[in-house]
Amino acid sequence: MPALQYTVNVAGQSLVLKFDVNKNPTKMGVKLQFVVPDPDMDPRDKQELANKISTALQKRFGEADIMIDYDTQTPYKNVIGFIVPINSISSMLTKIIRGK
């Protein structure tokens, strides 16, 4: 099954957002991969954009009590990645099921 993808506006940028599952047993969760338009983007500019995206996501996800981690092991030059850990997802789903 191909990764789900959407165009989103975050941190003042229009980016393609892909979702996938991180199968690493030490960091299981849902991967959020923001595809930058320029694969040869200056690393400092890419890190600055990653920081802006992280700030926006921390605010939005924090309001829902969902943790998000920066993915330092993204193998793609044109991707800024984050992971929603499985324990955060399970906590959110448990609250919904329990009606809290």
Cα–Cα distance list, 85 to 9, 22, 27 (Å): 23, 9, 7
Query: Residue 10: which H helix or E strand, with range?
Result: strand 4-10
Could you give the number of structural domains in the chain? 1
User: Cα(79)–Cα(46) distance, rounded to whole angstroms?
Assistant: 9
Res. 24 pLDDT band, cuts 50 70 90 = confident
Per the structure, the complete domain to which residue 62 belongs is given by 4-98
pLDDT digits (tens, 9 = 90+) for 65-83: 899 999 988 889 999 999 9
pTM of this structure: 0.86
Q: Give the Cβ contact number of residue 14 at 10 Å.
A: 9
